[in-house]
Amino acid sequence: MESGVVVVLVTAPRGRGKEIARSILEKRLAACVNVGSVESLYWWKEGIEEDSEDLLVIKTSVSRLEELIEEIKRVHPYEVPEILALPVVACLSEYCDWVRKETTK
């Protein structure tokens, strides 16, 4: 099933998630962004790092994905930001319609 919608996961420094969310929403690159707090442990430059971060769960249309990625890279403070796009294989049709409508150019 092809929904035309993707969920994009992005982590950012604690306190910066809303700023990034507003930037992408103002450009209609997403219909909705959830921002929550997570503790992240990861490999970086030969060592294990641990950080408090914001986790953004972004809902957008496939047609706006590349522009969304470019905007995140533009406003994100990390050298290599986490940007993971996951296909939505099924969702409530009214919700997917809303996401596609809100992200139409």
Q: What is the pLDDT of residues 26-70, one digit of tens each?
A: 999 999 999 999 999 999 999 999 999 999 999 999 999 999 999
What CA–CA distance (Å, rounded) separates 45 from 47? 6
> Which residue type is seen at 40?
S
What CA–CA distance (Å, rounded) separates 43 from 35? 23
**What secondary structure does DSSP assign to 46-73, as a single string?**
TEEEEEEEEEEEEEEEGGGHHHHHHHHH
Please give the pLDDT value at position 3: 85
Q: What is the mean pLDDT of the chain?
A: 95
Element (H, E) at 85: strand 83-87
- Average pLDDT score over residue span 73-77: 96
Is pLDDT above 90 for 11? yes
Please give the pLDDT value at position 7: 98
Is pLDDT above 70 for 1? no
Q: What is the DSSP letter of 94?
A: H
Which residues does residue 51 pair with via DSSP β-bridges, in sequence order? 40
Please give the pLDDT value at position 65: 97
First-residue to last-residue Cα distance in the chain: 24
> Domain extents for the chain?
5-102
Please give the pLDDT value at position 2: 76
Topology given in CATH for the domain delimited by 5-102: Alpha-Beta Plaits (3.30.70)
